[in-house]
Amino acid sequence: MRCMQETGKKRSDVLTVVRFLQKVLDNEDDWAVKGIARLLTEDCGLFSSENVDIFANRFGFLKRKALTAEALYADILQKNISFNNWRQLASL
């Protein structure tokens, strides 16, 4: 398993993913909702070597549904994640 440096300490990729999921679930200052909105508007800030948004022309199904970022976030929480189980895992 690959490890990354974090303030002088090594951490696993799994821990990095778990912490990311915790940040998504916490949604502090609407962080996750704003991220979803940026993905949907092709303004995520991640560009290819050709200077093209890497998510350009993606998520067509979601765009056609015309759901708000808030509605998509609520749907993610409702359908896919047991909030308490992720919180317990993230606290390990």
Q: What is the pLDDT of residues 60-69, one digit of tens each?
A: 888 888 899 9
Render the burial of 70-88: b for 16+ CB within 10 Å, e for the rest.
eebbeeeeeeeeeeeeeee
Instruction: Give the pLDDT band (50/70/90) at residue 82.
Output: low
Task: Give kind and range of the element (H or E) at residue 39.
Answer: helix 31-40
Distance CA 56, CA 20 (A): 23
Beta carbons within 10 angstroms of residue 27's beta carbon: 14
Structure tokens, 50: 């050709």
Position 77 pLDDT exceeds 50: yes
